[in-house]
Amino acid sequence: MAGQSDPSGSTFAAAELEFLAEDETVEIVPNMRMDTLDFICGQYEKLTQILEAERDSLDLFQPLPFHYVEISRLLFDHARDDIPDVYLVRSLIEDIKDVRFHKIGTGMEKLAGRASAIVLKHISAMEVNIVRPFTARALETFYKLDSPEMLPDSERGAVKHSQVADHGQRRPLRPNR
């Protein structure tokens, strides 16, 4: 499955992702009096905890719904009257998103050399979609420049850490996990 908007068919446009996200089940609350709202990640109070956890750990992403960016936007668009403290909720999600994106950025700065896979646990669809074109291109170039045909034997391993076999290595986004 690939996006239709991109001529090479390799990436999704944001709107396409949103469309896919609409398949996800969300918990809804009957239209009556209620104390807490069941939001995407359960109770609404949890969002602050997630933000805290997101800020505390530099290495890990919190497990959020795969389409949390898209779903939260759709909910804000269509159900804003049903969400108590909509501005607070919205800014919390914005903050969570910013923290996570910053984490992705700092993780990608660590990228160097040949890698066959990058491990990004709990990353969401929108987040991975944003960095996909850039990362794919960068990895391609790294793969080419860091190949055994390009480096003299003496230099191999000197530029970066030791290398497993020719097919590169799996690399966590944050190597110092």
Partner 1 sequence: MAKYYDIDDILAEDELVPAIFKVAANEVGLIDSSDDTNKVESGSKVELPFWLASELHLRQAVSVGFPRCFNKRTQEEIKADAAHVDLRNRCPYFYELGCKIVLLTGDKSIGPVLLVAFMTRYKEVLIKAHTTSLTVAPKSLTLLTNEEAKLYEAARSSTAAVKKWRMGGPRLKKASVLGRKRKPVE
Closest approach, Cβ 35 to partner 1, in A, equals 31
* Touching partner 1, residues 16-45 (CB under 8 A): 18
The nearer residue to partner 1, 46 or 174, going by C-beta atoms, is 174
Distance CA 140, CA 97 (A): 27
Of 26, 37, 53, 111, the residue at the interface with partner 1 (CB under 8 A) is 111
* Touching partner 1, residues 72-91 (CB under 8 A): 73, 77
Contacts of 165 (CB under 8 A, 6+ apart): none
The nearer residue to partner 1, 46 or 101, going by C-beta atoms, is 101
Distance CA 174, CA 44 (A): 30
Of 105, 121, 157, 161, the residue at the interface with partner 1 (CB under 8 A) is 105
Task: Please work out the total of residues on this chain that contact partner 1, with binding judged by CB under 8 A.
Answer: 34
The nearer residue to partner 1, 35 or 81, going by C-beta atoms, is 81
**Residue 56 contacts partner 1 per CB under 8 A:** no
Distance CA 152, CA 144 (A): 14
Q: Are strands 170-172 and 117-119 parallel, antiparallel or unpaired?
A: parallel
- Window 112-151: contact mask with partner 1 (x via CB under 8 A): xx------------x--xxxxxx--xx--xx-xxx--xxx
**Residue 9 contacts partner 1 per CB under 8 A:** no
CA separation, residue 16 to residues 13, 32, 103, 146 (Å): 5, 33, 25, 35
**Residues 25, 74 contacting (CB under 8 angstroms):** no
99 closest CA partner among 70, 62, 74, 151: 62
Residues that bind partner 1 (CB under 8 A): 11, 13-15, 18, 73, 77, 105, 108-109, 111-113, 126, 129-134, 137-138, 141-142, 144-146, 149-152, 155, 158-159
